[in-house]
Chains A and B, each alone.
Chain A
Amino acid sequence: MNDELLKTNRLMVRFGGLTAVNEVNFSIFRNEIVSLIGPNGAGKTTIFNAITGFLKKTSGSIDFEDQELKNLKPHEIAQRGIIRTFQITSLFPNLSVLDNIRTGHHMEEKEAIFDALFNTKRKRLIEDETLARTNEILKFIGLEGKKENIASNLPYGEQRLLEIGIALAAKPKLLLLDEPSAGLNDTETQVMKNLIKKMRDQKITILLVEHDMKIVMGISDRIIVLNFGKKIAEGTPEEIRNNPEVIRAYLGERRKDAQH
């Protein structure tokens, strides 16, 4: 059960003089939900970008399934099974909801150009399979009634659900969610929370960046806290809640001369 999926080893990302991520070590085990929290600018999204190959790390290493992810392009990392969502809503805006998810399913469609041009039986089988899987996901994220809608016309909350649908279509072994509830209202946040819970029940391993502490405390198995690019704490929600360093990072330190 203690099956290590992802491991970072002294991960470091620098932008010029600024050290965004400073020698961070952490592991993610199969079937767990780990949250990455910290004040703005703590380096959470930078870690996401470094893991998924959108950013070059300065030093350190990232292992996935005991293999180092070395100089891989984003699509190569996705092909290994690490799928991410983005902090700012990221969809295929002019495509229908159905096509959005179908596109996410791309890696599973091993069709040759010959199949495409001659509409072979193989191609039609692949298309059927894709459609079945797409419908499954639509149901899972609760958008089955909106198949034909154009993605950019969806209400914001549903766009965020669709993003997760696209990621799920890519069959993630590890799913990185970057602030899925950012900008959502209370009802939408509840829907998102339920969706994440449903994903946990499906045994999807998740690394979550999230500001909504109710979500983080409610669903995480473990929490990692970052501040100014450094890991300052790691533990269960209970441990994190009572960790003085974390409280200090979030609420600031009381100035000594202000005590009177």
Chain B
Amino acid sequence: MRSYRTITLLCLIGASIYPILIKDPYFMHMAILIGIYILLAISINLLLGYTGQLSLGHAAFFGVGAYVSSLSYLSLKIPIWGGMVMALIASGALGYIAAKLSLKLRGAYFVIMTIGIAEVLKLVGLNWVDLTKGPMGLTDIGVPKIDLGGFGTIDFSNKMPYYYLTLLLVLLCIYLQYRLVHSSFGRAFISIRENEDLAESVGINCYKYLVIVVAISASIAGVAGSLYAHYVSFIDPGVFAFFISVNVVVMVIGGGQGTLGGPILGAILFTMIPEWLRVFGNARMAVYALVVIFIVIFMPRGILFYITKLLNLGKRTP
């Protein structure tokens, strides 16, 4: 247990001094993207890793968060803070409704339903031109500034403050996930993954807990969407892309589903690997696919598991 604490602390220190050590804007940009992906990975992990339900439509919640936050800034002049809360509520509500509709289904049927929801929203984004400007997308999504009186202002259009904002949210979500998993809620989630019939037979309302998980998971994805929109300050219906959902699922499975550290590791690695593969030029994504296949075949329990085994940190994964 102690070694986990040390590693967590080291990661925390590393993450907080990262921008001071590395000033390169490219690496700052990657770090912020990774942060957003970690949020999404946690969101998927809650659902896939703990309750065992695969969603390939999480881009729906991500996209709704992005659009709600952007639109409330552009048309109502609500800054990112309010936008983030609204994204959280909107995505959470959508998640709740989607869960109510689809969680009577299991397995492949549930997966198809989630894909469907994301695709429908993508079409809405493309065709509701009055609201979303369609494929033109929304531009000039503002970044916040905080006036500190005599101490100047924090301008979030700079990468460093935005990095810390992302880091804060990531830490908050990690904490939230940790608490949730180590409670009777977490045990109920896991029992659904492990043996739904047995869970029902000891009085666990699986449907109710799945709806809760999806709502929480969707809220987190919504916040990630809001964070993304205000970071790149431009969004189009591409935020609903199937690719995003799949990529995050790969991160979670590759990193280690059902663990606290796995999705984080997965988000970091699978954001960086395509970058490292740039030497392959046009063949980059093909090589990336090979890497993914390799990891899935040879490390089916996620990279984290094999690293822990390698370091011999005891039986349990964090």
Q: Contact check, B203 vs A106: say whether CB atoms are below 8 A apart.
A: yes
For the complex, is B226 an interface residue (Cβ under 8 Å from A)? Answer: no
Contact with A along B191-217 (1 / 0, CB 8 A): 100110111111111100000100000
Q: Contact check, B194 vs A123: say whether CB atoms are below 8 A apart.
A: no
Q: Give the secondary structure class of A's interface.
A: helix
For the complex, is B187 an interface residue (Cβ under 8 Å from A)? Answer: yes
Contact with B along A91-104 (1 / 0, CB 8 A): 11111000100111
Q: Contact check, A95 vs B184: say whether CB atoms are below 8 A apart.
A: no
Q: Contact check, A95 vs B190: say whether CB atoms are below 8 A apart.
A: yes
Q: Contact check, A116 vs B179: say whether CB atoms are below 8 A apart.
A: yes
Residue pairs across A and B with CB atoms within 8 Å: the count is 95
Interface residues of B in 149-178 (CB under 8 A from A): 176
Q: Contact check, B185 vs A90: say whether CB atoms are below 8 A apart.
A: no
- In Å, the complex CA distance between A109 and B202 comes to 12
For the complex, is B183 an interface residue (Cβ under 8 Å from A)? Answer: yes
Tell me how many residues of A have a C-beta within 8 Å of chain B: 38
Contact A83:B198 (CB < 8 A) given known A113-B212, A117-B180: no
Contact with B along A42-81 (1 / 0, CB 8 A): 0000000000101000000000000000000111101100
For the complex, is B188 an interface residue (Cβ under 8 Å from A)? Answer: yes
**A residues near B206, Cβ cutoff 8 Å:** 75
- In Å, the complex CA distance between A130 and B187 comes to 12
- In Å, the complex CA distance between A139 and B195 comes to 24
Q: Contact check, A113 vs B185: say whether CB atoms are below 8 A apart.
A: yes
Nearest chain B residue, comparing its CB with the CB of A96: B316
Q: Contact check, B202 vs A92: say whether CB atoms are below 8 A apart.
A: no
Q: Contact check, B179 vs A166: say whether CB atoms are below 8 A apart.
A: no
Q: Contact check, A106 vs B201: say whether CB atoms are below 8 A apart.
A: no
Q: Contact check, A74 vs B194: say whether CB atoms are below 8 A apart.
A: no
Contact A117:B201 (CB < 8 A) given known A91-B195, A106-B187: no
Q: Contact check, A115 vs B187: say whether CB atoms are below 8 A apart.
A: no
For the complex, is A207 an interface residue (Cβ under 8 Å from B)? Answer: no
Looking at A75, A90, A93, which has the most chain B CB atoms within 10 Å of its CB? Answer: A75
Contact with A along B70-94 (1 / 0, CB 8 A): 0000000000000000000000000
For the complex, is A111 an interface residue (Cβ under 8 Å from B)? Answer: yes
Q: Contact check, B191 vs A94: say whether CB atoms are below 8 A apart.
A: no
